[in-house]
Chains A and B, each alone.
Chain A
């Protein structure tokens, strides 16, 4: 018999269930930034936070299904612009609310960069972040 080991379908559900536990260390604090460099594997912080004085949003975590039941960890959170008009080009998920202004610190779980989204004071962006696991 060949050596075979799998994280099985239900195992992926355990991963996402563990991720969404609403206690310290869960990566559900959303932040935005104005950096212009593509996200990379080694990123650990937002690139540029000029005029990004907003607190990190506390996202709502759920399990979702992409391929197998509950194989996907989802966070939905909304950030509202309070400081100045800016072009948002990055979003990140952290395991802590961070400190100082703008917010820094905590461990980055996910970092995404994209075409700029212009926001004025009192505009908001609702981000929906999904991470799906698969044995492929």
Chain B
């Protein structure tokens, strides 16, 4: 019987930034970097194994 593999993905990642100047002025830059490209769920699982020591 063929094995099953979940193909779920990281669908989005983003970085937003807000600058707080020394004088208290705030500059909200909003989203400065964004990933829409799909990544393999296996890659995510590898990260989990790395982080949590799974086998």
Write the residues of chain A forming the contact surface with B, with a CB cutoff of 8 angstroms: 3-7, 12, 15, 18, 25-27, 39, 41, 66-67, 78, 91, 95, 107, 109-110, 112-115, 117, 119-136
Contact = CB atoms under 8 A, between A and B. Distances in A.
Interface residues of B, number: 34
B51 A26 contact: yes
28 contacts: A6-B8, A7-B8, A18-B48, A25-B51, A25-B52, A26-B51, A91-B15, A109-B47, A109-B51, A117-B17, A122-B22, A123-B21, A123-B22, A124-B20, A125-B19, A125-B20, A126-B18, A128-B15, A128-B17, A129-B13, A129-B14, A129-B15, A130-B16, A131-B12, A132-B13, A133-B10, A134-B8, A134-B9
